[in-house]
A and B are shown apart, each in its own frame.
Chain A
Amino acid sequence: MVSQAPVDPVADRARAQRARLQAARAAAARVTDPEVPVLGIDDLGILHDVAIDEAGTVTVTILPTYSGCPAMGAIALGIEAELARDGFPEARVKLTNTPAWSTERMSEAAREKLRACGISPPERASGKRALFSPSPDVVCPRCGSPDTERVSEFGSTACKAHWRCRACREPFDHFKCI
């Protein structure tokens, strides 16, 4: 059935704009964290907003994670590259500290992906723990045992601490909870 819809240029343009915004968002969401390549910036809660203006220019807003995280520069470059590849060569990347990023922003899917690649995900309730209370339950991502111990508060990257499992004896990374 062919309907003779009246031509509505305004609605057409709005539809096209929405489609371009969706395409831009999909391109940005393909970018992964260079230090944890299994995680997309969407999973991590870093990808905050994608907007498109009248002229068609895309602005991607991201939330920086740990203050000194050297990956932010690579992530911004990655976003520009992915957008350029999908036809948005003029895209801009903006960083904002409002709202403040925290590990609470990570999705459940992100936590599952971390476990699957041998990194124990951050516990919930960042920063609520008393200063010298016992370490929270960190479960070994390899064998699932809760019998684990911290080797160091700091690990291979700004976002990780170094732990080991007393049951299977394997060392593993724990994503720091902030």
Chain B
Amino acid sequence: MSFASCDPRAAWLMRLGDTTLVLGHRMTEWLSRAPTLEEDIALANLGLDLIGQTRLFYTRACELEGGARDETDLAYRRAEPDYRNPLLVEQPNGNFADTMARHLIFAGFATPLYQRLAASCDAETAGIATRSARETTYHLRHAGEWMIRLGDGTDESHERAQAALDDLWPYVPELFEADDLDRAVAASGFGVDPSTLRDDFDAAVDDVLARARLAKPAEPRGQRGGKAGRHSEHLGHILAELQYLQRAYPDARW
């Protein structure tokens, strides 16, 4: 079985699905450990939205490449280099500020991405993106409100929120760098060139940071590689847990 898809539309949707699956899995790591009961439920729901989006992206990708694989194959039967998510989403949860800063960056990127993808020439993809954009708008509000509360809170919470942003900012540039695949699907009217999303991202994030009295980190050269299958150490640990059941009991059903 070949793991990379030769249909660029499918390969590109898989990348979106990899991104939401890995981040959705990170969210599930918070279950029973969030600062409050309400937040525990909130983080679980953020994860649920992301894993739901994953299933839709994967399923459409499999249809477009001809139906030889399904969502289960993509999630559970591929190795690290086959995953094409940007490095940001595999970064560890850290403290609560780290998770909220990561989510602010993700939602600030994904929301305009999905909003534009809602005009995809593929009606099914457009429909998925339309709904997903409304969900990540909700995520952006939630993460933004928390960043404002933390940044404009106590000295300690401000310090942690600023440190979280500083630590994660090196993962921002990769989100907006277009590669050949991005350019190909954008040119055909199927997908979106991520380099066109930066202004929307900056507008949303700048607004939050100003209200939060947090400083926007200087743009570093950045860490990249995930979109090409070169990952940080963290992804292997995520997949070891995520894929354990399928690896130990292949084709298990329940």
Which residues from chain A sit less than 8 Å from chain B, CB to CB? 64, 66-70, 96-102, 126-127, 131-132, 151-156, 158, 162, 176, 178
Produce 1/0 per residue, B190-223, CB < 8 A to A: 0000000000000010010001000000000000
A69 to B135, CA, bound (A): 12
B145 interface hit (Cβ, 8 Å): yes
Measured CB to CB, the nearest residue on chain A to B127 is: A97
A125 to B92, CA, bound (A): 36
Do the beta carbons of A153 and B132 come within 8 Å of each other? no
Which residues from chain B sit less than 8 Å from chain A, CB to CB? 38-39, 41-42, 44-53, 55-56, 60, 118, 123-124, 126-128, 130-135, 137-138, 140-142, 144-145, 148, 204, 207, 211
Measured CB to CB, the nearest residue on chain B to A97 is: B127
Do the beta carbons of A132 and B131 come within 8 Å of each other? no
A162 to B142, CA, bound (A): 13
* Residue of B48, B51, B144 most packed against chain A (CB within 10 A): B48
> Chain B residues near A156 (CB, 8 Å)?
41
Do the beta carbons of A153 and B52 come within 8 Å of each other? no
- 16 other A-B residue contacts (CB within 8 Å) besides A67-B52, A154-B42: A64-B56, A67-B135, A68-B52, A96-B124, A97-B56, A97-B131, A98-B127, A100-B118, A100-B128, A127-B134, A127-B137, A132-B141, A152-B42, A156-B41, A178-B134, A178-B138
> Chain A residues near B132 (CB, 8 Å)?
67
Do the beta carbons of A131 and B137 come within 8 Å of each other? yes
Contacts A97-B131, A151-B38, A176-B138; is A158 near B207 (CB within 8 Å)? no
Do the beta carbons of A132 and B207 come within 8 Å of each other? yes
Do the beta carbons of A131 and B45 come within 8 Å of each other? no
> Chain A residues near B44 (CB, 8 Å)?
154
> Chain A residues near B204 (CB, 8 Å)?
131
Do the beta carbons of B52 and A152 come within 8 Å of each other? no
Measured CB to CB, the nearest residue on chain A to B44 is: A154
12 contacts between A and B (CB under 8 A): A64-B131, A67-B56, A97-B60, A97-B124, A97-B131, A98-B127, A101-B131, A131-B140, A152-B41, A152-B42, A153-B142, A154-B44
A131 to B200, CA, bound (A): 13
Do the beta carbons of A67 and B211 come within 8 Å of each other? no
Do the beta carbons of A152 and B138 come within 8 Å of each other? no
State which of B49, B53, B127, B140 has its C-beta within 8 Å of the C-beta of A96.
B127
In terms of DSSP, what is the predominant structure of the interface of chain B? Answer: helix
Do the beta carbons of A69 and B137 come within 8 Å of each other? no
> Chain A residues near B49 (CB, 8 Å)?
66-68, 158
Measured CB to CB, the nearest residue on chain B to A131 is: B141
Do the beta carbons of B41 and A155 come within 8 Å of each other? yes
B123: shortest Cβ distance to chain A, in Å?
4
A77 to B147, CA, bound (A): 42
A76: shortest Cβ distance to chain B, in Å?
14
State which of B47, B131, B141 has its C-beta within 8 Å of the C-beta of A153.
B141
Do the beta carbons of B126 and A66 come within 8 Å of each other? no
Measured CB to CB, the nearest residue on chain A to B42 is: A154
Measured CB to CB, the nearest residue on chain A to B129 is: A100
Do the beta carbons of B207 and A131 come within 8 Å of each other? yes
> Chain A residues near B39 (CB, 8 Å)?
152
Measured CB to CB, the nearest residue on chain B to A162 is: B38
State which of A64, A102, A131, A153 has its C-beta within 8 Å of the C-beta of B134.
A102
Measured CB to CB, the nearest residue on chain B to A68 is: B52
A21: shortest Cβ distance to chain B, in Å?
25
> Chain B residues near A152 (CB, 8 Å)?
38-39, 41-42
Q: Give the 10 A-B residue pairs with the shortest CB-CB distance, closest first.
A: A68-B52, A67-B52, A97-B127, A68-B48, A100-B130, A152-B38, A154-B42, A178-B134, A154-B45, A98-B127
> Chain A residues near B207 (CB, 8 Å)?
131-132
> Chain B residues near A99 (CB, 8 Å)?
127
A9 to B211, CA, bound (A): 73
